């Protein structure tokens, strides 16, 4: 199963998302800003990116611009879910071509429902995997 990439500058939020998703059975890689996020995207080829918008170094808007310009179509089109406290999150999600947004404070049920939609249920074998015995 491909990991989920959490790009979030707040250590507590990044850790909480990592622990939550790990407990649900999802592998997670984290990045503390958009620049590290782009490097991690290239290295780990995640199935979904959870992206904060307001970060130092490279923010979420710059991350998306760089991601969509990547020559690898699979990486350029990796789904992105915004995780933000901004009041106009829907507009930003639309402008950035994100699959949606989760407003901070995070609605855990909504987050997990969206993650399952794009990453599947971690309890189910992935395509090409042998059935569990």
99 within 8 A of 79, measured Cβ to Cβ: yes
pTM value is 0.91
Closest by CA position to 92, among listed 57, 58, 54, 55: 54
Q: Which CATH architecture has domain 4-119?
A: 3-Layer(aba) Sandwich (3.40)
**DSSP bridge partners of 1:** none
99 within 8 A of 80, measured Cβ to Cβ: yes
Residue 73, helix vs strand vs coil? helix
> b or e along 23-53 (b: 16 or more beta carbons within 10 Å of the residue's beta carbon)?
ebebbbbbbbbbbbbbebbeebebbbbbbbb
Q: Which tens digit of pLDDT belongs to each residue from 57-93?
A: 999 999 999 999 999 999 999 999 999 999 999 999 9
Closest by CA position to 15, among listed 50, 44, 46: 50
Q: Which tens digit of pLDDT belongs to each residue from 83-133?
A: 999 999 999 999 999 999 999 999 999 999 999 999 999 876 554 444 443
The residue ranges of every structural domain in the chain are: 4-119
Residue 49, helix vs strand vs coil? strand
**pLDDT > 70? residue 22:** yes
């Amino acid at each position: 199963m491909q990991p989920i990439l959490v790009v979030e500058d707040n250590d507590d939020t990044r850790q909480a998302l990592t622990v939550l998703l790990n407990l649900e059975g999802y592998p997670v890689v984290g990045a503390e800003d958009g620049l590290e996020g782009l490097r991690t995207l290239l290295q780990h080829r995640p199935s979904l990116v959870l992206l904060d918008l307001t970060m130092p170094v490279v923010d979420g808007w710059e991350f998306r611009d760089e991601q969509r310009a990547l020559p690898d179509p699979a990486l350029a089109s990796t789904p992105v879910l915004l995780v933000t406290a901004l009041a106009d999150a829907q507009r930003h999600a639309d402008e950035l071509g994100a699959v949606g947004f989760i407003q901070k404070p995070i609605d855990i049920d909504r987050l997990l429902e969206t993650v399952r939609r794009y990453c599947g249920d971690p309890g189910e074998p992935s395509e090409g995997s042998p059935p569990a015995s």
